[in-house]
Amino acid sequence: QGGGSAVIDMENMDDTSGSSFEDMGEMHQRMKEEEEEEAEGEAGAGEEEDGEFLGMKGLRGQLGRQVADQMWQVGKRQASRAFSLYANIDILRPYFDVEPVQVRARLLESMIPVKMINFPQKIAGELYGPLMLVFTLVAILLHGMKTSDTIIREGTLMGTAIGTCFGYWLGVSSFMYFLAYLCNAQITMVQMLSLLGYGLFGHCITLFVTYNIHFHSLFYIFWLVVGGLSTLRMVAVLVSRTVGHTQRLILCGTLAALHMLFLLYLHFAYHKVVEGILDTLEGPNMPPFQRVARDIPLVSNAVLNTTAKAIALTL
């Protein structure tokens, strides 16, 4: 019996040992499956995070494109609005809406210096009269070349005359406006253009007379009287709109010097400078000017001979 019970115990031990090995195998299998499930779960979570990241990135790209399109449309509307604004002629209409009677009165006033400088003098805010005076000055310069001792065979002076006159008007007006701003003068850019443009009326009168009557003494008289009156008019207006003796001296002295020297330049040095510029551009081998002497004595002799023959026939 003792031997039989020992055998039974050994069998039971064998059974328990086998079942324990099976339990260990099942636990190992379950742990492997759990690890695989956890790995799959982590992989799925990573894919979901990647999808969410890609979705956010695509959303941001769409928002960026929408913002860029909206900014482009806004900029396009503003550009078209600005272009139509500056292309509209109604903007310039107030500066050229003036009667001929008013222009004539302002031309006469440009030669009469004002006496009251204690309060700001009125300046016409229109550009029709000054623009016409600048074109008149261009025509007078061309007329002066035709009435001189040279006849132009090649080249034209239209562009040079326009550049000189408009360059002086716009350039000096801009410079004086900047100087007036520094000197705290109460004047706008349009008023400065109008004031300097009407100041060219004296230049037009002086050059038109002296180009047809070639006397230097006559030019100096017109330079001092006519040009001086128009300059005094502008100086008096600027004095009435400037506060401070030093500011008045700087502003008015600069304007008077530039205005009077420009008249001297147009009378004495303009044609020589233009001739030198054309020689430089076209070269010395192709002179722009061909000097042709005018046959005024021959014409006068022919007239005298014809008159003498007519008198002889009548006698």
CA distances from 269 to 138, 272, 275, 276 (A): 15, 5, 10, 11
Which has the minimum average pLDDT: 137-141, 176-180, 268-272, 291-295? 291-295
Give the containing element (helix H, strand E) for 258.
helix 245-264
SS3 label, residue 285: coil
Residue range 10-52, pLDDT digits in tens: 444 444 444 444 455 566 667 767 777 766 655 555 554 454 5
pLDDT of res. 14: 45
Highest mean pLDDT among 33-47, 155-169, 286-300: 155-169
What are the extents of the domains in the chain? 61-97, 100-106+115-280
Evaluate if residue 2 carries a pLDDT over 80. Answer: no
Evaluate if residue 314 carries a pLDDT over 60. Answer: no
Residue recorded with tokens 């805010």: 125
The per-residue DSSP string of 10-51 comes to HHHHHHHHHHHHHHHHHHHHHHHHHHHHHHHHHHHHHHHHHH
pLDDT of res. 21: 45
Evaluate if residue 198 carries a pLDDT over 90. Answer: yes
Which has the minimum average pLDDT: 43-52, 213-222, 277-286? 43-52
Could you tell me the pLDDT band of residue 70, with boundaries at 50, 70 and 90? Answer: confident
**What's the residue count for the chain?**
315
